[in-house]
Amino acid sequence: MKKTITIYELRFTNLKSKIILLLTAYCLLLTVSFASAETREFTFTVTEGTIELNGTKFMVWKYNDTFPGPEIRVKEGDIVKVKLRNKSSAKHGMFFHGLYVNPRVSIQEQEIFVDPDYEYTYGEFIAKPAGTHLYHCSWNMAEHLSRGLYGAFIVEAKNEPKYDKEFVYILSDWNSKTEKGDDHLGAGHPRSMLDNDITTINERAVTGDNPIVMEAKKGERIRMRLANIGHLPHKIRFADGFLITHEDGYLITEPKTQDSITIYPGKRHDIVITAGNPGKMTFYHSVNMPKSAGERLAELESPNKQAGEHKHEHPKASHDSSHDEHKTVHESLDGGNGKNNAARELPILVLDIKGGK
């Protein structure tokens, strides 16, 4: 007996064929993708050491005996595999800051901590998104980041723009009082972070007399990858201005030109400059603390007070009171000693431009 195929059965058969075809195509794409991707394996050994910053010796942990840790640089889509060996006396872990890791690695970041004299290999993950990222310890992060256990993780885009030069800088801040024993709270404690009094850019303390020199030729396009792994907001100012192209690894849809940028803890920014006429151009650094709740409240109340003032008040009296108020605020910020260390600018980088390309 001849079976009659209904229109519904025919549609279902066609749907199954399409699904099988799509799945086959997807599997082929995955095969091609993984075949073209490179597997990059990294091994990090944690050891203890000592560094000196601005006259103070700090106990630190290091990746592969370097501070900051070695730069990881891969291409978008590469398969990344990381092994952590612990040769220190403390417990450590790994966290891949800003990267899209799979659920397995995400759990490992949060739950796997390597005891002294042990090692652990994290699950494979695909390097994405492209951009400027970080890796750092995941155990007791506040203290371990305050002791140098971090590094840059750069994922180059598939359509990476070309620059003549590229520099990667990681900013951090340190507390000399804690290290000298003047602060019993310990490194990385929330109540001592605001007292951090030493800034580092990569391995160097910012003192004002030892800026890092970047050499370039006139007309060269330079990309600077900036990251803040510290606890304070760090401001970078360059009078000639720069183009901000990326934030936290993502391309800014409308890149903007400005002469300063404040990099908050955990943030990353890519900036681009074009070397102008020969000479030395200085980048300046300061700690740009946000206004306190009291200062913000005073600003909100100020217009109301002005509206209630007598309109026939002598202009000079108004100017003097404003000056005294500014002086009082300034002295409260710097303890009345005339030196506001938080806002003080120091040379941090110098762009040394030579002749043309």
Instruction: For residue 8, report the phi and psi dihedrals to the nearest 5 degrees.
Output: -70, -40
39-156 placed in CATH 2.50.20.10:
no
Does the pLDDT value for residue 273 go beyond 60? Answer: yes
**Domain range summary for the chain, segments of one domain joined by +:** 39-156, 165-289+341-356
Does the pLDDT value for residue 31 go beyond 70? Answer: no
How does residue 293 score in pLDDT terms, banded at 50, 70 and 90?
Answer: low
Mean pLDDT, rounded, of the chain: 82
Average pLDDT over residues 138-146: 90
CATH of domain 165-289+341-356: 2.60.40.420
Q: Is the dihedral of CA 237, 243, 249, 251 positive or negative?
A: positive
Using a 10 angstrom Cβ sphere, with 0-12 exposed, 13-18 middle and 19 or more buried, the burial of residue 20 is exposed
pLDDT of res. 112: 94
pLDDT of res. 117: 96
Does the pLDDT value for residue 339 go beyond 80? Answer: no
pLDDT of res. 13: 57
**Cα–Cα nearest to 151, from 253, 43, 72:** 72
Q: Is the dihedral of CA 113, 119, 122, 123 positive or negative?
A: negative
CB 240 within 8 Å of CB 216: no
Say yes or no: do domains 39-156 and 165-289+341-356 share a fold: yes
CB 127 within 8 Å of CB 73: no
pLDDT tens-digit profile of 96-115?
999 999 999 999 999 999 99
Which residues are CB-neighbours of 348 under 8 A, at least 6 positions away? Answer: 201, 206, 211, 212, 236, 283, 284, 285
User: Token pair of 190, please?
Assistant: 């929330």
The overall pTM is greater than 0.85: no
**Cα–Cα nearest to 221, from 157, 270, 159:** 270
pLDDT of res. 287: 93
Average pLDDT over residues 66-88: 97
Stronger pLDDT, 61 or 27, i.e. the higher one: 61
